[in-house]
């Protein structure tokens, strides 16, 4: 019984009508719950939609927690481990905006509307592209971690240098880190910029170095993505890779 329930609430396989209907219901609820975010304020219709969608999300969370041991395969520990999995955290955050119905505080309402926007990530559960990207990251995580470590270190070093070279241009170290980040990514919004010759030279080096740093993970992810797609095409028909996320 619980095994069949897990098959229904997970992403549908071809020919599983109940699972397909469940997926459609969840995606419709996610979409409907995001519509009020396109408007300022609220009304009775939006409140009703929120109550209905939240009820659906609560039921979905309960069903997934009920079948956590079958999905994670950790025995009784699964029921304690599941709430800390990435998608379970997203599910829980998707339920929290219902608190706005109890507390009408404007500040709280704004925070909860931000959490409500996180519901868009629930769509990831119903797309193969997300699992494909996750697999690519898992296989390339050591290389990507090395690249991100170098980028993070360079941001901190360049921020420290410029923060001390131009104290008048950067009031806080966070401002310098912000400048270093947008310079490394070659975005350059222009709200923070150096005015001395030394600062300008550092900016030139940071931007030039940023081109190489940003290009590395792009190439790694692209190569890994193509390899993963090729590997899936070579899998026999009917093969389904188990998803532990």
DSSP string across 192-207 = S---SHHHHHHHHHHH
127 vs 191, more confident: 191
Average pLDDT in the 45-64 region? 88
> Last residue of a domain, which of 64, 99, 126?
126
Q: What is the pLDDT of residues 112-169, one digit of tens each?
A: 667 777 788 887 777 766 677 777 887 888 888 888 888 888 889 888 988 888 888 8
In a domain, 241, yes or no: no
In a domain, 244, yes or no: no
Average pLDDT in the 39-53 region? 83
Give the burial class of 193: count Cβ atoms within 10 A of its Cβ; 0-12 exposed, 13-18 middle, 19 or more buried. Answer: middle
Task: Report residue 241: phi and psi, to 5°.
Answer: -75, 130
Q: Are residue 80 and residue 189 in the same domain, yes or no? A: no
Q: Are residue 200 and residue 222 in the same domain, yes or no? A: yes
Which pLDDT belongs to residue 103?
Answer: 52
**Confidence bin at 50 (pLDDT 50/70/90):** confident
**Confidence bin at 102 (pLDDT 50/70/90):** low
Q: Tell me the residue range of the domain where 65 lies.
A: 2-126
Asked if 190 contacts 162 with a C-beta cutoff of 8 angstroms, the reply is no
What are the residue ranges of helices labelled H in 166-196?
A: 173-184
In a domain, 52, yes or no: yes
Q: Are residue 114 and residue 175 in the same domain, yes or no? A: no
Nearest Cα neighbor of 65 from 9, 27, 20 is 9
Residue 106 in this model has a pLDDT that exceeds 50: no
CATH number assigned to the domain comprising residue 94: 1.20.120
235 vs 161, more confident: 161
Q: What is the C-alpha separation between 205 and 182, in angstroms, rounded?
A: 13
**Confidence bin at 241 (pLDDT 50/70/90):** very low
Residue 49 in this model has a pLDDT that exceeds 60: yes
> Last residue of a domain, which of 90, 105, 126?
126
In a domain, 223, yes or no: yes
Give me the number of domains the chain comprises: 2
What Rg, from alpha-carbon coordinates, does the chain have?
Answer: 23
Q: What is the C-alpha separation between 13 and 8, in angstroms, rounded?
A: 9
Which pLDDT belongs to residue 218?
Answer: 78
Residue that is written with structure tokens 């690249």 in the block: 147
Which pLDDT belongs to residue 235?
Answer: 60
Which pLDDT belongs to residue 243?
Answer: 47
Which pLDDT belongs to residue 245?
Answer: 45
Chain centre to alpha carbon of residue 207 = 27
Which pLDDT belongs to residue 216?
Answer: 80
Q: Are residue 83 and residue 138 in the same domain, yes or no? A: no
Kindly report the average pLDDT of the chain as a whole number.
80
Residue 91 in this model has a pLDDT that exceeds 60: yes
- If you average pLDDT over each of 118-122, 194-198, 206-210, 229-233, which comes out highest? 194-198
Least confident of 1-10, 31-40, 103-112, 210-219: 103-112
């Amino acid at each position: 019984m619980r095994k069949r329930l897990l098959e229904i609430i997970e992403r549908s396989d071809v020919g599983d009508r109940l699972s397909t209907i469940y997926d459609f219901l969840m995606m419709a609820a996610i979409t409907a719950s995001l519509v009020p975010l396109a408007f300022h304020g609220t009304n009775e219709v939006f409140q009703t939609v929120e109550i209905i969608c939240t009820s659906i999300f609560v039921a979905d969370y309960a069903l997934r927690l009920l079948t956590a041991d079958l999905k994670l395969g950790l025995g009784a520990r699964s029921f304690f481990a599941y709430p800390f999995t990435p998608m379970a955290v997203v599910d829980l955050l998707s339920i929290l905006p219902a608190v706005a119905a109890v507390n009408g505080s404007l500040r709280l309402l704004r925070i909860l509307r931000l959490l409500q926007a996180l519901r868009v990530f629930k769509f990831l559960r119903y797309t193969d592209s997300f699992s494909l990207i996750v697999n690519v990251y898992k296989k390339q995580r050591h290389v990507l971690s090395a690249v991100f470590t170098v980028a993070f270190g360079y941001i901190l070093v360049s921020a420290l240098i410029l923060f001390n070279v131009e104290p008048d241009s950067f009031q806080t170290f966070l401002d310098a880190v912000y400048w270093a980040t947008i310079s490394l990514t070659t975005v350059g919004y222009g709200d923070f910029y150096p005015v001395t010759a030394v600062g300008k030279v550092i900016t030139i080096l940071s931007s030039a170095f940023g081109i190489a740093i940003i290009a590395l993970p792009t190439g790694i992810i692209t190569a890994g993505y193509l390899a993963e797609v090729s590997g899936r095409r070579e899998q026999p028909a009917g093969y389904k890779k188990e998803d532990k996320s």
